[in-house]
Chain A
Amino acid sequence: MSQPVLKVTDLRKAYGAIQAVGGVSFEVLPGEIFGVIGPNGSGKTTLFNSMLGQITPDTGRIELKGEDVTQLGPLALNRRGVGRTFQTLQVFGKMTVRDNLIVAAQEHQGSMWSRMFAPSDSGLGAKADALIDQFHIRHVADKKAGELSYGQQKLVDIAMAFMSEPDLVLLDEPCAGVNPSLVGGISTLLKELNRSRKGSFVVIEHNMDFVMALCHRIMVMVEGKVLAIGTPDEIRGNKQVLDAYLGN
């Protein structure tokens, strides 16, 4: 069995008396799309923020391709091949779409000093154009990102996470606030990217149809703990999961 891209072991984080995450363990395998679902307050966001270095867990261990990265911040994690999107839009509104994509990967090109008077596109123009075509946003490539519709900005936001060709991408509610007609498009894009880039994705999402159609395995969290991990079919048939969601 190949080494997991991400291995989380007994992760715990409490805010005062509230145990937001209480001993969560799971693995994400190479090329896998791993979904994380759970009702509001189940600890998904705390788990996500711990994995992304935004907060430090109280105990537990996070390994990236075998390396302990529990104490690392977002910058160091990005340099080790972790990309991410945010629940809310996080594009650079005053830059063009193309520049948003270029800036998303330029820091992976040589040293800071070598970039001081380097060409504006850091040699990433062709790569940015390829992603622009893949995301069907060619017609807005030279527009400022802040002038685009919400759905278009969401696509830019997701595309930015893939520009540096990360080994692991963490997607925080990629369908949040998106027009239902675009949800299918995002799902297709993510499947394509997963196939073509062989990367692993972790997806937090409330849209069950989206998660079930996209993910290879799904982890269900309730009250900071793992309720179940399994394939979409296993999760659909899990009585405990149904009880947690339907309140029976």
Chain B
Amino acid sequence: MKKLHLFLALAALAAAIVVPSFLKNYGIHLFTTWLVFIIATMGLNLTVGYAGQKSLGHAAFFGIGAYTVALFLKAGLSFWLGLPVAALLCFVVGLILGFPALRVQTIYLAFATLGFNTALWLVMRNEEWLTGGTFGINNIARPMLGSLSLDRNLPYYYLVLAFTLVLAALLWALLRSPWGKAFTALRDNPIRAESLGIDTRGYTLLSFAIGAVYAGIAGGLYASQVQFIDPALFTVGSSIMMYLMVVVGGPGYFFGPLLGSAVGVILPEWLRFAQAWYLLIFGTAVVLLMIWLPDGLLSLPDRLRARRQSRLESAARQAAAKQGARA
């Protein structure tokens, strides 16, 4: 990691620890939601940004995680049991969802995952005996950490922050391992990757499964945060919003989800002053961003570097041509 990156990461971490203690409840809630979506989109970034797959079904995993934890808590079981079960369930379902990716790609895969999200959303809405249907599940408890109560928003925020840091560290280590290179190879050139012995089937399935685990954990944390869930949170629209967060932040950039989730969670709050015009401003901002920075916000330094490099090379060529002409 470059020194500047390390400095920025440490500054962001310090801000994440200090700032919420000066915020009111709503501000803490907003920061917690931001962290939850950072976790969810870190997983989607692995699937989409690093492994090059298409998924418009991420909100379904977010929902599986949320409902699993909610049902565990409603049944009087521990959050600390519900969350690993949610993660495991998402891993298995994510693995299954990965199978269509072995047969179809690009927009067709996106539609396959979209269909999965719709089907799961229908289950959440219609199976009232299990999910509460459109009434959802309310009074979801906050967990205890030993004897420490996390009922207040600030301690719960720090729990979610701890999860975010641990999951980010795990993803960082995974992406720096040979798996990271295999995912990138799969994204950039699956035929070449296979010819080099990379098990493209295995890595495709794992990219979906691990991405789903992150969404499931995020969903579980979210259920306890808002203490009420209903199917409206887990629609295809939410999946598209998560995809947008990854694309806006920069797919394949480790810190992309940090910025993308800010755009998806914090920016709409800042635009509240615009009232009914908020969606128009938000949509226009996203369109302009996609035109100027199609690879996301974090691609800006790379683009500037490439432009400077091109200018330098052009100047060197011109100088060489002038020298040649003089000779």
**Which residues of A approach B to under 8 Å, CB–CB?**
52, 73-75, 78-79, 84, 86, 90-95, 99, 102-109, 112, 115-120, 122, 160, 164
Q: Is the CB of B184 within 8 A of A78?
A: no
Residue of A52, A75, A78 most packed against chain B (CB within 10 A): A75
Checking B182, B185, B197, B202 against A164 with a beta-carbon cut-off of 8 angstroms, the contacting residue is B197
Known: A90-B191, A92-B185. A116 touches B196 (CB 8 A): no
- Between A and B, 5 residue pairs with Cβ closer than 8 Å are A84-B195, A92-B189, A103-B196, A105-B196, A115-B177
B contact residues vs A (CB 8 Å cutoff): 173-174, 176-182, 184-185, 188-189, 191-192, 194-200, 202, 252
**B252 nearest CB neighbor, chain A only:** A94
Q: B177 to A164, Cβ gap below 8 A?
A: no
Q: Is the interface of A mostly helix, strand, loop or mixed?
A: loop
B192 / chain A contacts, CB cutoff of 8 Å: 86, 90-92
> Is the Cβ of A107 less than 8 Å from the Cβ of B199?
yes
Sorted nearest first, the 5 A-B pairs with minimum C-beta distance are A107-B197, A78-B197, A90-B192, A115-B178, A103-B181
Chain A residues with CB under 8 Å of B197's CB are: 75, 78-79, 107-108, 164
Q: What does DSSP make chain B's interface, helix, strand, loop or mixed?
A: helix
Check A118 against B177 for contact (C-beta < 8 Å). Answer: yes
Q: What residues of chain B lie closer than 8 Å to A73, measured between beta carbons?
A: 194
How close is B201's CB to chain A, nearest CB, in angstroms? 8
> Do A78 and B181 form a contact, CB below 8 Å, given A90-B189, A92-B188, A112-B202?
no
Give bound CA distance, A196 to B188, whole Å.
32
Residues of chain A contacted by B177 (CB below 8 angstroms): 115-120
**Minimum distance in angstroms from B134 CB to a CB of chain A:** 41
Q: Which residues of B contact A78 (CB under 8 A)?
A: 194-197
Contact across chains for B199 and A95 when beta carbons are under 8 A apart: no
Residues of A with C-beta under 8 A to B195: 52, 74, 78, 84, 86, 90
B49 CB, nearest partner CB in chain A, Å: 12
| Shortest Cβ distance from residue A239 to the other chain B in the assembled complex, whole angstroms | 38
Most buried by B among A92, A118, A164: A92
Verify A92–B184 contact, CB threshold 8 A: yes
Residue in B176, B194, B200 whose Cβ sees the most chain A Cβ within 10 Å: B194
The answer to whether A115 and B179 touch (CB under 8 A), given A75-B194, A90-B191, A90-B192, is yes
Q: Which residues of B contact A119 (CB under 8 A)?
A: 177
